[in-house]
Amino acid sequence: MNAPTLLPLHQPGDSPLHRLPVGAKVGGLVVFSLAVVLTSGALAAGAGVLVAAGLAALAGLRPGLVLRTLRPVLLTVVVVGLLQWLFEGPAAAAETALELLALALAASVVTATTAVNDMLDALVRWLGPFRRVGVRPDRVALAFTLALQSLPGTLALALETRDAARARGLGRHPRAYLTPFVVRVVARAHEQGDALAARGLGDESP
């Protein structure tokens, strides 16, 4: 199974961005994303792309790696851009495409410079105050992180199910792959739940 990962994996390194605390990176990403979405005009969106690309360079990310992992996002950018061009004209198309690109690049910088376990630690810390109202920070953080991590796995299951439907000569009818796909996703969730329980994850004291 060779699953697409959507965003780059953690690339160990020693850049200023690698050393930055998780909170600063996530906070920065929120502020940057809001700025990109709230400002209007292709010029502002272009500036956003330049800033994000500059950050990627500062983090020492290889352009090839970023382009490879962002390929599904880039395809979406192209399709959305073309539709925008048709309905809204070239200026709006450029703005939307550049905004999407800036957001994807900035998110890539965060995922590539932050280990998932560091992100988990940060989430557990942030959720700490909610312990008093019965929230189990370890469990919530784990669930949140797993939800993000399971996207590539779910995509891989979708591709496998589609191939299986094709191999059996079942045409393009959605039922031929949607039903088995849902069944497989639920089965995988059960297996993963068992595996996490077996590893004692989620058993942490409240």
Partner 1 sequence: MAQIELHAAGVTVPVQGTSPSECSGPGGSGGDGGDTGRVVLHPTTLTLTEHRVAVVGANGSGKSTLARLLNGLVTPTTGRVVVDGTDVADDAAAVRRRVGFCFTDPSAQLVMPTCVEDVELSLRRTERDPRARREQALDVLRRFGLGRHAHDSVHTLSGGQRQLLALAGVLATEPSVLVADEPTTLLDLANTRRVGELLLGLPQQLVLLTHDLDLARRCDRALVVADGRVVADGPAEQSVASYVAAVDAQA
Q: Contacts with partner 1: how many residues (CB under 8 A)?
A: 33
Q: How far is the CB of 108 from partner 1 (least distance, A)?
A: 13
Which helix (H) or strand (E) segment is 105 a member of? helix 90-113
| Least distance from partner 1 to the Cβ atom of residue 128, Å | 14
Q: Which stretch binds partner 1 (CB under 8 A): 27-35, 89-97, 111-119, 165-173?
A: 111-119
Count of residues making up the chain: 206
Of residues 117, 143, 163, 182, which one binds partner 1 by CB under 8 A?
A: 117
Residue selected from 121, 131, 143, 178 as contacting partner 1 according to rule CB under 8 A? 121
**Is residue 29 within 8 Å of 130, Cβ to Cβ?**
no
Choosing from 74, 135, 156, 164, the residue that interacts with partner 1 (CB under 8 A) is 156
**DSSP character for 130?**
G
Tell me the window of 89-97, 98-106, 128-136, 143-151 that interacts with partner 1 (CB under 8 A): 143-151
Residue 156: exposed, middle, or buried by beta-carbon count in 10 A (0-12, 13-18, 19+)? middle
Helices (H) and strands (E) counted in the chain, each on its own, are: 9, 0
Does position 146 bind partner 1 by CB under 8 A? yes
Q: According to CB under 8 A, which one of 118, 159, 162, 185 is a site residue for partner 1?
A: 118
> Does residue 112 interact with partner 1 by CB under 8 A?
no
Among 56-64, 92-100, 166-174, 185-193, the segment contacting partner 1 (CB under 8 A)? 185-193
Query: Is residue 60 involved in binding partner 1 (CB under 8 A)?
Result: no
Angle at 62 between CA 6 and CA 76, to 5 degrees: 30
Q: Which stretch binds partner 1 (CB under 8 A): 31-39, 42-50, 76-84, 146-154?
A: 146-154
Contact 120, 141 (CB under 8 A): yes
Answer for the pair 42, 52: CB distance below 8 angstroms, yes or no.
Answer: no
Counting contacts by CB under 8 A, is residue 154 touching partner 1? no
Q: Which residue shows structure tokens 């352009």? A: 63
How far, rounded to the nearest angstrom, does the alpha carbon of residue 35 sit from its chain's CA centroid?
19
The reply to whether 198 sits near partner 1 by the rule CB under 8 A is yes
